[in-house]
Amino acid sequence: MSALSRRGVCWCWFAVASLVVGCSSKSMTPAPVEDREMAAVKVAPVVDVKPPVVKQPPGFENAGKPGYYTVKAGDTLIRIGLEHGQSHRDLTRWNNLENPNKIEVGQVLRVQAPVLTETAAVTRPVVTSSVSASPIPAIGTATATAGSTAVTPGKASNGMVAAPSPAASTPAPAPAPASAVGGEDELAWIWPGNGAVLGGFDEVKNKGIDIGGVAGDPVVAAADGRVVYAGSGLRGYGNLIILKHNATYLSAYAHNQTLAVKEDQAVKKGQKIAEMGNTDADRVKLHFEVRRQGKPVDPAKYLPPR
């Protein structure tokens, strides 16, 4: 082998040795293994979620109880009072309403007067039995005993004169029974207008009767009472007057041209309270309602025959 060939072989071995040494000098630390499945799963932070606070309408705890009413869409305090035979002022007072024009759907209102309970004990007088002294009958006087024969005035069987028996006391007449319909609250009604009847009572379509007339005709109170509403705040009734007669009856007078009385005013039967008109109506007429404990009843059954 020539010197040149030997030199080439030496360079080849030198190159191979350098490559081996270079490879052996590198770090043999294994590369980190990434768990891609665990990296894909992210644990959300735990958050303390509280349920939202639901605001309950006023009086919700009384829902369903006797004497209470749950407000529905479209209700007004005036209508609720009319439907339950109460004054809207009483409803405002019983429910402590700051603004009677603001009532909300679901609100529960008291519609019957609160009952006052007596906490104090009632002291009753103690009745003591007393012994009354009876005079001793005179000798020879006939006295009636149980099972004895009554002796008429005159001579007794022994020849003595018998004393007359005391007259039996007449029992007091029993009081006349109250009316089965309304008891002491029953009234002697009169017609509130002189016109002809235009429309009769219907529990669904017409909750009273319609009485015809001319604009300006007088409208009179059908019975003694107190004005619990006078205004135009009830849709469909126009200028309206509501009278409360007693704990049982209300009467309503609608579509008036003008009103002649004010709220809380006492009126007498036959007194002029308004003038007939056509407010919120298709013609001049008086719409007259009688409400018994808030429920509309046929006025023709209470008014006298013409």
Q: Closest by alpha carbon to 243, among 266, 225, 220?
A: 225
Q: Domain 60-110: which topology? A: Membrane-bound Lytic Murein Transglycosylase D; Chain A (3.10.350)
Residue pair 154/161 in contact (Cβ under 8 Å)? The answer is yes
Hey, where are the domains in the chain?
Answer: 60-110, 189-301
- Tally of helices (H runs) and strands (E runs) in the chain: 4, 14
In this prediction, residue 295 carries a pLDDT of 95
In this prediction, residue 174 carries a pLDDT of 41
Rounded to an integer, what distance in angstroms lies between the CA atom of residue 221 and that of residue 267?
Answer: 7
Token couple for 161: 């004169």
Give the residue, 271 or 56, on which the prediction is more confident. 271
Is it true that domain 189-301 has CATH number 2.70.70.10? Answer: yes
Place of tokens 């015809």: 212
Does the structure show a pLDDT above 80 at 230?
yes
Give the gyration radius of the chain's Cα atoms.
49
Token couple for 13: 């071995």
Does the structure show a pLDDT above 80 at 182?
no
Cα angle 159, 164, 166; round to 5: 155
Question: What's the CA dihedral at 61, 67, 68, 74 to 10 degrees?
Answer: 170
Rounded to an integer, what distance in angstroms lies between the CA atom of residue 173 and that of residue 176?
Answer: 9
Rounded to an integer, what distance in angstroms lies between the CA atom of residue 71 and that of residue 108?
Answer: 6
- Pairing state of beta strands 108-110 and 295-297? unpaired
Rounded to an integer, what distance in angstroms lies between the CA atom of residue 259 and that of residue 243?
Answer: 13
Does the structure show a pLDDT above 90 at 15?
no
Residue pair 78/129 in contact (Cβ under 8 Å)? The answer is no
Kindly report the average pLDDT of the chain as a whole number: 78
DSSP sequence for 45-83: PP--PPPPPPPPPTTGGGTT-TTEEE--TT--HHHHHHH
Residue type, 153: P
Percent of the chain with pLDDT over 70: 62
Residue type, 295: K
Three-state SS at 121: coil
Residue pair 200/217 in contact (Cβ under 8 Å)? The answer is no
- What number is the average pLDDT over the span 7-18? 56
Q: 141-180: per-residue pLDDT in tens?
A: 444 444 444 444 444 444 444 444 444 444 444 443 333 3
Residue pair 108/94 in contact (Cβ under 8 Å)? The answer is no
In this prediction, residue 12 carries a pLDDT of 54
